[in-house]
Structure 1
Amino acid sequence: MNSKNKHQLGRPRLLLIGCGDVGMRLLPLLRGRYRVFALTSQPERLAELRAAGAVPILGNLDQPATLRRLAGLARHVVHLAPPPAEGMKDPRTRNVTAILPDRARLVYVSTTGVYGDAGGAWIDETRTVAPQNARAHRRVDAERVLRRWARRAGGRLSILRVPGIYAADRLPLKRLEQGTPALLPEQDVYTNHVHADDLAAIVLQALRLGRPGRIYHAVDDSDMKMGEYFDAVADAFGMPRPPRLPRGELAQAVSPAMLSFMAESRRLGNRRLKEELGVRLRYPSVNHFLRDRGIS
């Protein structure tokens, strides 16, 4: 056995569930500390994941039989996979708990949408959840399923509630090109943001330092309304700012999914993120990103 393989075998095993954009940004941060096993349902991604330093495993969260060989594989788990697109429950997370060993260390990436509308108020992690759509109900269900598992199995669970994720390739440029309107400033809602690279770093810190049963807001320091976010991106790219419409007219111009985002206004504090996890944000706000990237 060569020294590289010996080094890999000496590291703790980690199962990465969900290998999308954030998962791929997380892999370089994990592979020096863990022997990473990455679950994917797409055979065509096996080579990509292997090249990124993971041991790829083919399985499908919607098909429990394909997950049985993962039972007890790793005592460290990062769960990034979203719930199904329909329903009020998350059967995928139930299938995940079936393969977790007792006393596993798990970080689950949830959503700030579980709070529903807070009327633009600043809130912290003690706020009671109040999901207002099926998408948020599925996330609340997943959190509850994982809490029950942690109590039953002595698991060490940390939940990250994540807002809108952005990056250079995850900006609303198409929306701006299409001239999709936003709400009038006086009717607009507060939104929250985090850069995808910062989120990957937050996941790693939660693995290392997250307290058992603890919830963390994985959000930056931004204090922006949705239209202000669109305006900032438009200005940075030399594009026209979106037109503003009253809510009644806007309902005829945007999709029901987008309109649901425009019905919830909240600002989330991130004190726990900084004080307990020691996170230092690379991009404290969207404006920092646009400026540091030389865009504005």
Structure 2
Amino acid sequence: MRLMIFGAGFSGLAIARELAGECEFAGGTTRSSGRFPALQGAGLTPFIYEGGAPSDDVSAALSETTHLVISISPDAAGDPLLQVFAEGLRPALPKLEWVGYLSTVGVYGDHGGDWVDEDTPCRPKSRRSVARLAAEDGWTRLAAEAGVPLAVIRLSGIYGPGRNALKTLHEGKARRLIKPGQVFNRIHVADIGGATALLARQRLGGIYNVTDDLPAPPQDVVSEAARIIGVEPPAEIDFETAELSPMARSFYGENKRVSNAKIKTAGYSFLYPDYHAGLEALHGDGSWQR
């Protein structure tokens, strides 16, 4: 396997840690050379990519790439890499065997708290989720034209080392916003790495929800974090009267429970099937602060 990850951020590095040891070559892109040590620590050869046509060194790596992971968000103009590969994937990636595209469960939109799965019609509400669905469609077309399987990996709210309710509570930034009936799914970043690695190894295509077993009200996660570190949880705040940015408020406009049955059927067993297990593990090994 020769792996290239466009956008080796929080999720990309977790994928790299799962796959890099199995790779003949593993590369990843970042916008800043200051992040090179993080990429190298995950087993990646780092490259600068800031948009537009790839540099000569990135193009050389792509010419040998067999497994491509896309973890770059669409911008106001859409997915920048779809524009780069508008003429097709094969000219730049002649040895390509599999593509993984990291998307979001936000593409499902609001379903009033009902369960959704990969066959549920998408009706995104937010601009960013509309852009994600358009990017999914673009990558589906490109992969089909190239004759390679595409795994669309729809992620729920990501947490893990250094990015979790324990840390926000410790820093005094956690809030228990109450909106009756509201639930969210979550996913530990290590399970993003593990599930994506399984799909890449088996060259599986299709849409997969990579999300936990336990959709739950957001205030319950804060309460659990408080219990774990032995402090009183913050006071409850009514969502309707809370001061929130437009983006933060928009997250609460989509309410659903997301099924992960398909990725389990593909053979993946979650390391952290719910936020209880995930937060306990982060606290137990001290990685919640890193």
Q: What TM-score, normalized to structure 1?
A: 0.84
Aligned: 1:50 with 2:45? no
Contact residue 88 and residue 134 of structure 1 kept, 8 A = no
Corresponding residue of 1:221: 213
Corresponding residue of 2:263: 273
Corresponding residue of 1:183: 178
What CA distance in whole angstroms lies between the structure 2 residues aligned with 1:42 and 1:227?
A: 35
Matched-pair identity in %: 27
Going from structure 1 to structure 2, the CA distance change for 1:32 and 1:191 (only over 3 Å counts) comes to same
Aligned: 1:260 with 2:253? no
Secondary structure of the corresponding residue to residue 187 of structure 2: strand
Deviation at 1:194, TM superposition (A): 0.9
Match of 2:49 among 50, 59, 78: 59
Contact residue 9 and residue 30 of structure 2 kept, 8 A = no
Q: How does 1:81-230 map to 2 (within 5 A)?
A: 81-84=72-75, 87=76, 89-95=78-84, 99-101=92-94, 104-173=97-166, 176=169, 177-178=172-173, 180-184=175-179, 187-209=180-202, 211-212=204-205, 214-230=206-222
Secondary structure of the corresponding residue to residue 260 of structure 1: helix
Deviation at 1:294, TM superposition (A): 5.5
Q: Amino acid of the residue matched to residue 15 of structure 1?
A: M
Q: What TM-score, normalized to structure 2?
A: 0.85
What CA distance in whole angstroms lies between the structure 2 residues aligned with 1:225 and 1:280?
A: 24
Q: Amino acid of the residue matched to residue 189 of structure 1?
A: Q
Q: How does 1:62-81 map to 2 (within 5 A)?
A: 62-66=51-55, 68-81=59-72
What CA distance in whole angstroms lies between the structure 2 residues aligned with 1:150 and 1:232?
A: 42
Q: Amino acid of the residue matched to residue 287 of structure 1?
A: H
Deviation at 1:41, TM superposition (A): 2.5
Q: Cα deviation per residue 1:32-90 (whole Å; 9 max; x = unaligned)?
A: 21110222222233344335432222222x22253554553312111122222xx2622
Corresponding residue of 2:27: 37
Going from structure 1 to structure 2, the CA distance change for 1:68 and 1:153 (only over 3 Å counts) comes to same
Corresponding residue of 1:9: none
Corresponding residue of 1:5: none
Q: How does 1:282-293 map to 2 (within 5 A)?
A: 282-293=271-282
Q: Amino acid of the residue matched to residue 262 of structure 2?
A: R
Contact residue 14 and residue 76 of structure 1 kept, 8 A = yes
Aligned: 1:26 with 2:19? no
Contact residue 105 and residue 156 of structure 1 kept, 8 A = yes
Secondary structure of the corresponding residue to residue 125 of structure 1: coil
Q: Amino acid of the residue matched to residue 83 of structure 1?
A: P
Deviation at 1:165, TM superposition (A): 0.8
Deviation at 1:171, TM superposition (A): 1.2
Going from structure 1 to structure 2, the CA distance change for 1:135 and 1:239 (only over 3 Å counts) comes to farther
What CA distance in whole angstroms lies between the structure 2 residues aligned with 1:39 and 1:88?
A: 20
Deviation at 1:236, TM superposition (A): 2.0
Secondary structure of the corresponding residue to residue 21 of structure 2: coil
Contact residue 154 and residue 208 of structure 2 kept, 8 A = yes
Contact residue 192 and residue 219 of structure 1 kept, 8 A = yes
Going from structure 1 to structure 2, the CA distance change for 1:32 and 1:179 (only over 3 Å counts) comes to closer
What CA distance in whole angstroms lies between the structure 1 residues aligned with 2:194 and 2:33?
A: 27
For structure 1, which runs of at least 5 residues remain unmatched after alignment? 1-11
Contact residue 50 and residue 56 of structure 1 kept, 8 A = yes
What CA distance in whole angstroms lies between the structure 1 residues aligned with 2:249 and 2:207?
A: 27
Q: Amino acid of the residue matched to residue 248 of structure 2?
A: M
What CA distance in whole angstroms lies between the structure 1 residues aligned with 2:33 and 2:283?
A: 38
Pairwise CA RMSD of aligned residues? 2.3
Deviation at 1:20, TM superposition (A): 1.2
Contact residue 176 and residue 218 of structure 2 kept, 8 A = no
Deviation at 1:239, TM superposition (A): 3.6
